């Protein structure tokens, strides 16, 4: 059974890889139908393998370490392409392949008729391969390969509509901002290797106790920089909202459900290091709390349906970081799972809305869609309630657990941030729902006529995700802190610390969370349904704050001013330096060579040619003079013969005498 499990583990990333090779190399030779079947079929097979592995680990509880390929070995360094599948990896695998499979199926409908259909699925599968390596790797190098791989696929898929300038720019931005985080991550890997002489998780975590607190803090902070970049936390979150330029399934898969959660996974995976450094933990929690609040405020006023969801993703990732920062690793992973359900659901529903409206993304031009696309509406509403945190939907359990953990462990500031963030989340999500699905239609006539419910291939995955958003939280995490997920992850992520809080406090906190969500809903209901004019009135009254939020706190402008422009100017300076000084030197060298060759040309013409001419002329002269011997006169010849005869006689005489 164990051998079978090992085989299944090896197979998981291979199916999407085969699909990438086939679609990438031969995709142009067969029809779109074959291409998409290969794509979602391969992910489906991976999902089945994952279930096989999962059932085995569920039964035995043992982690599997499988070496797929011996890669680098020399000196102290041994790096294998090896997989570590423990409960944490298992949970991530289920999310990645399960949600990934649903999104692949959805994409078949969403991307239908798009140019580059096969390219899209090739990139998606490549992403799956990289993401699987990321979560399955048993050492930092494989993790890093996956880390960079998903970054690359993110770049490729954000820039999917590459002829659109904004998409190309957003792709570049995502890539460049992620590089900053990756630099930190690389430093962390180097530090780990210097300290432990190995990069395998199990060996590193076994001797983690030897670390000095300062070194632990340094490694943890470097890892954190990497996680911040990938998971779009303050201050590197700016790429994620722009990443919405990609097709909606990409936003759902990469920029909501899987890739952006890689940072959270990485922190939980390395929690042994983080646990050693209260400083780093404090910073993780602070960044999470600030991001959760900060992104939620921006989400309040955005008008692009996908951008609202993007800021909401940033905000929710903030909750996960907050959970990591206060040691609630299981809760963070729990929230990661439920978030991947409801955020994928929301994104895909938003995609369905966009699909129905022939590409319109501005919620000011929507409204009144609940009757026209009822299934999308119902599922979007489920997603909204789930993220807002109303029981018994999925988001409630995970978010409440993080907040309760913060409160019972006396992180009151973080609890306050999370609570306000939850209020804002509930508000902006219901605002989004009201503006999109209720009220009077604000569409133009042409769009209105074409509104249609999405095909089954899109609605089907939505229903599956809707079901997960509805009951996923209950199944995984009920009762709070002692649910199934907690027992499963306990050996890996650590059991949430015991606290003195009684059941009464826990119920009080749950009640508070529910109340907060309801208040947000009520506020949105009043502002956008009962008295729509009020919202505009408030916008006018607090126009300063409103404009600031609308412009996302001018962070992009600030970064442009602080980093992008100076770097550009520095680049221009370097360009000038390159053109004048470096090119000058190059041209100088070229000029020298030119002169040298001119000199050597002169030398050749005047010295070598002259030498050759002398030889030639000598021959010429010799021939001119020599030919005179051949006078044609018989007597001359006879005289020469006689002279020769005498000479010969003379020589013979001399030889004889000698």
Partner 1 sequence: MIPLSAYVAVSAVLFITGLLGVLIRRNFIIVLMAVEIMLNAANINLVAFSHYLESMAGQLVALFIIAIAAGEAAVGLAIIIVVFRGKISTNVDEMNLLKW
Residues near partner 1 (CB under 8 A):
627, 630-635, 638-639, 642
Q: Work out how close the CB of 630 gets to partner 1 at its nearest, in angstroms, rounded to a whole number.
A: 5
Within its chain, how far is the Cα of 613 from the centroid? 73
Q: DSSP of 510-546, one letter per residue?
A: HHHHHHHHHHHHHHHHIIIII-HHHHHHHHHHTHHHH
Q: Work out how close the CB of 644 gets to partner 1 at its nearest, in angstroms, rounded to a whole number.
A: 13
Residue among 567 and 638 whose Cβ is closer to partner 1: 638
Q: DSSP of 137-203, one letter per residue?
A: BSBHHHHHHHHHHHHHHHHHHHTTSTTSHHHHHHHHHHHHHHHHHHHHHHHHHHHHHHHHS--BHHH
Listed residue (638, 639, 635, 636) closest to 627, CA to CA = 636
Q: Would you call 316 helix, strand, or coil by DSSP? A: helix
Q: Work out how close the CB of 604 gets to partner 1 at its nearest, in angstroms, rounded to a whole number.
A: 35
Residue among 630 and 657 whose Cβ is closer to partner 1: 630
Alpha helices in 438-531 (DSSP H): 445-450, 456-477, 484-493, 503-525
On whether the CB atoms of residues 100 and 144 are closer than 8 A, the answer is no
Residue among 633 and 655 whose Cβ is closer to partner 1: 633
Q: Work out how close the CB of 642 gets to partner 1 at its nearest, in angstroms, rounded to a whole number.
A: 6
Residue among 544 and 632 whose Cβ is closer to partner 1: 632
On whether the CB atoms of residues 64 and 53 are closer than 8 A, the answer is yes
Residue among 440 and 630 whose Cβ is closer to partner 1: 630
Q: Work out how close the CB of 614 gets to partner 1 at its nearest, in angstroms, rounded to a whole number.
A: 24
Q: Work out how close the CB of 646 gets to partner 1 at its nearest, in angstroms, rounded to a whole number.
A: 11
Residue among 446 and 627 whose Cβ is closer to partner 1: 627
Listed residue (461, 280, 469) closest to 391, CA to CA = 469
Question: How far apart (Å, rounded) are the C-alpha atoms in residues 167 and 157?
Answer: 9
Task: Kindly state the tokens that stand for 488.
Answer: 């499963």
Residue among 533 and 634 whose Cβ is closer to partner 1: 634
Longest dimension (CA), the chain: 146
Q: Work out how close the CB of 603 gets to partner 1 at its nearest, in angstroms, rounded to a whole number.
A: 38
Neighbouring CB atoms inside 10 A of 280's CB total 24
Helix (H) / strand (E) element for 593: namely helix 583-603
Q: Work out how close the CB of 606 gets to partner 1 at its nearest, in angstroms, rounded to a whole number.
A: 34
Q: Work out how close the CB of 625 gets to partner 1 at its nearest, in angstroms, rounded to a whole number.
A: 12
Residue among 166 and 619 whose Cβ is closer to partner 1: 619
Within its chain, how far is the Cα of 360 from the centroid? 26
Task: Kindly state the tokens that stand for 396.
Answer: 């409630």
Alpha helices in 248-373 (DSSP H): 248-252, 262-269, 271-275, 278-299, 305-325, 329-356
Q: Work out how close the CB of 632 gets to partner 1 at its nearest, in angstroms, rounded to a whole number.
A: 3
Q: Work out how close the CB of 587 gets to partner 1 at its nearest, in angstroms, rounded to a whole number.
A: 58
Q: Work out how close the CB of 616 gets to partner 1 at its nearest, in angstroms, rounded to a whole number.
A: 19
Question: How far apart (Å, rounded) are the C-alpha atoms in residues 526 and 519?
Answer: 10
Task: Kindly state the tokens that stand for 522.
Answer: 């009520």
Q: Work out how close the CB of 600 gets to partner 1 at its nearest, in angstroms, rounded to a whole number.
A: 41
Question: How far apart (Å, rounded) are the C-alpha atoms in residues 491 and 619?
Answer: 99
Listed residue (118, 94, 146, 126) closest to 15, CA to CA = 126
Residue among 589 and 638 whose Cβ is closer to partner 1: 638
Residue among 166 and 631 whose Cβ is closer to partner 1: 631
> Would you call the peptide bond into 479 cis, given omega within 30 degrees of 0 as the criterion?
yes
Question: How far apart (Å, rounded) are the C-alpha atoms in residues 420 and 402?
Answer: 14
Residue among 540 and 633 whose Cβ is closer to partner 1: 633
> Would you call the peptide bond into 235 cis, given omega within 30 degrees of 0 as the criterion?
yes
Residue among 593 and 641 whose Cβ is closer to partner 1: 641
Q: Work out how close the CB of 634 gets to partner 1 at its nearest, in angstroms, rounded to a whole number.
A: 6
Residue among 592 and 639 whose Cβ is closer to partner 1: 639
Task: Kindly state the tokens that stand for 443.
Answer: 């569409």
Residue among 530 and 647 whose Cβ is closer to partner 1: 647
- DSSP class of residue 362 equals B
Residue among 633 and 658 whose Cβ is closer to partner 1: 633
Q: Work out how close the CB of 627 gets to partner 1 at its nearest, in angstroms, rounded to a whole number.
A: 5
- Residue carrying structure tokens 């050759």: 612
Question: How far apart (Å, rounded) are the C-alpha atoms in residues 498 and 14?
Answer: 42
CB contact set of 210 (below 8 Å; sequence gap of 6+) = 195
- Alpha-carbon distances of 354 from 296, 439, 528, 596, rounded to whole Å: 23, 18, 21, 68
Q: Work out how close the CB of 628 gets to partner 1 at its nearest, in angstroms, rounded to a whole number.
A: 9
Residue among 585 and 641 whose Cβ is closer to partner 1: 641
On whether the CB atoms of residues 429 and 300 are closer than 8 A, the answer is no
């Amino acid at each position: 059974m164990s051998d079978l499990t090992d085989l299944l583990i090896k197979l998981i990333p291979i199916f999407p890889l085969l699909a990438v090779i086939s679609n990438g190399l031969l995709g142009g030779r067969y029809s779109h139908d074959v291409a998409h079947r290969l794509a979602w079929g391969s992910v489906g097979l991976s999902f089945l393998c994952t279930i096989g592995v999962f059932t085995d680990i569920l039964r035995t509880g043992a982690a599997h370490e499988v070496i797929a390929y011996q890669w680098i070995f020399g000196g102290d360094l041994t790096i294998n392409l090896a997989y570590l599948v423990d409960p944490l990896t298992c949970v991530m695998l289920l999310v990645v392949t399960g949600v990934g499979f649903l999104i692949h199926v959805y994409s078949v409908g969403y991307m239908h008729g798009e140019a580059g259909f096969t390219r899209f699925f090739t990139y998606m599968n490549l992403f799956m391969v990289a993401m699987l390596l990321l979560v399955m790797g048993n050492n930092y190098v494989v993790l890093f390969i996956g880390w960079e791989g998903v970054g690359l696929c993110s770049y490729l898929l954000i820039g999917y509509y590459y002829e659109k300038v904004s998409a190309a720019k957003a792709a570049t931005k995502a890539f460049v901002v992620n590089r900053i985080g990756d630099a930190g991550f690389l430093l962390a890997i180097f530090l780990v290797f210097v300290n432990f002489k190995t990069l395998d998780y199990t060996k590193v975590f076994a001797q983690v106790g030897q670390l000095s607190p300062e070194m632990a803090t340094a490694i943890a902070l470097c890892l954190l920089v990497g996680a911040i970049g990938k998971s779009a936390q303050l201050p590197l979150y700016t790429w994620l909202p722009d990443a919405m330029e990609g097709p909606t399934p990409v936003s759902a898969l990469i920029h909501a459900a899987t890739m952006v959660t890689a940072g959270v996974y990485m922190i939980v995976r390395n929690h042994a290091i983080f646990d050693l450094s209260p400083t780093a933990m404090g910073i993780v929690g602070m960044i999470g709390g600030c991001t959760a609040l900060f992104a939620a405020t921006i989400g309040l006023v955005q008008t692009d349906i996908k951008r609202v969801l993007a800021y909401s993703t940033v905000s929710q990732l903030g909750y996960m970081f907050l959970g990591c920062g206060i040691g609630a690793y299981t809760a963070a992973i729990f929230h990661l799972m439920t978030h991947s359900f409801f955020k994928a659901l929301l994104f895909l529903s938003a995609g369905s809305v966009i699909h129905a409206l022939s590409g319109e993304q501005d919620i000011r031009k929507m409204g009144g869609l609940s009757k026209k696309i009822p299934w999308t509406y119902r599922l979007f509403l489920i997603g909204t309630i789930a993220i807002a945190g109303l029981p018994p939907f999925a988001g409630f359990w995970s978010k409440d657990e993080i907040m309760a953990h913060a409160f019972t462990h006396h992180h009151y500031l973080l609890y306050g941030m999370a609570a306000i963030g939850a209020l804002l989340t509930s508000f902006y999500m219901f605002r989004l729902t009201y503006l999109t699905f209720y009220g009077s239609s604000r569409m133009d006539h042409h769009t209105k006529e074409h509104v249609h419910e999405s095909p089954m291939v899109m609605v089907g995955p939505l229903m599956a995700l809707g079901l997960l958003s509805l009951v996923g939280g209950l199944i995984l995490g009920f009762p709070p802190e002692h649910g199934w997920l907690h027992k499963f992850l306990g050996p890996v992520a650590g059991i949430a610390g015991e606290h003195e809080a009684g059941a009464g406090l826990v119920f009080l906190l749950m009640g508070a969370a529910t109340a907060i969500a309801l208040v947000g809903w009520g506020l949105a209901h009043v502002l956008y349904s009962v008295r729509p004019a009020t919202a505009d009135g408030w916008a006018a009254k607090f126009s300063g704050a409103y404009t600031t939020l609308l412009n996302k706190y001018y962070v992009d402008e600030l970064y442009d001013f602080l980093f992008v422009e100076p770097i550009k100017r520095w680049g221009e300076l370097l360009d000038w330096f390159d053109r004048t000084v470096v090119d000058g030197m190059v041209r100088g060298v070229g000029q020298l060579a030119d002169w040298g060759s001119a000199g050597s040309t002169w030398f050749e013409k005047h010295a070598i040619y002259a030498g050759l001419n002398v030889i030639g002329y000598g021959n010429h002269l010799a021939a001119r003079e020599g030919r005179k011997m051949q006078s044609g006169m018989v007597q001359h010849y006879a005289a020469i013969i006689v002279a020769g005869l005498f000479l010969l006689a003379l020589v013979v005489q001399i030889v004889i005498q000698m």
